Structure 1
């Protein structure tokens, strides 16, 4: 069985998330998704996620093409997660291109093109803008 693993925050779930997860699953037989803890997200992005880790775990685990989810507590544990889950392929968005090549000694590393014109950060900014009436 070929195991694929990917990581993300998956806050404000949108079609870009669906696209990358579906495409990641197509690269193997079993998809594992590491979801950034609330604390890890804050350290990376300087803000708390809109949805709690429990809610994000529930959303992602409900997808038919996701086989397993877990909480990613630290970026420094990435290699350990790859080993613990016996990953054959690590998939990340192409905005990370080259940054995860250090793990090529553990598994294959694939960067998938992101869905154009959509990001969680942009959605949050649009929602927070005051409306003109």
Structure 2
């Protein structure tokens, strides 16, 4: 069984998120999503519209996702890869090069983002409409 892991905030879920999850799932048999907790988002100077628990429920309802785990720190990725015996670490290409040295025994893949959509764009458009 090939295990894939990805991480993110997944706030204001949109087609770009679904595309990332779908492509990640095609790379293996079991997809784990590390979901940034509200506290971790605060440390990253980010604020989600939806709470961690709501974002977790939403992600768990997506057919490509097999397991959702809380992401609490930057350093936890390496521990998760070992604990869950991950074969492939997948993340958006806006992080290209940041995780190349993450794991000596797993593959790191940077997937291209879906053009024209992001949570930041959605939030900006919502502000413009008000």
Give the TM-score of the pair, scaled to structure 2.
0.95
Q: How does 1:16-27 map to 2 (within 5 A)?
A: 16-27=16-27
Aligned-partner Cα distance in 2 for 1:109–1:8: 15
CA displacement, residues 29-68 of structure 1 (integer Å, 9 cap, x when unaligned): 1100000001111222x23210000000000011111111
Q: Runs of 5+ in structure 2 lacking a partner?
A: none
Aligned-partner Cα distance in 2 for 1:27–1:47: 29
Q: Runs of 5+ in structure 1 lacking a partner?
A: none
Aligned-partner Cα distance in 1 for 2:67–2:129: 39
Give how far 1:106 is off.
Answer: 3.7
Give the TM-score of the pair, scaled to structure 1.
0.93
Match of 1:37 in 2: 37
How many residues are aligned here? 130
CA displacement, residues 81-124 of structure 1 (integer Å, 9 cap, x when unaligned): 11111100000000001100011314110010100111101111
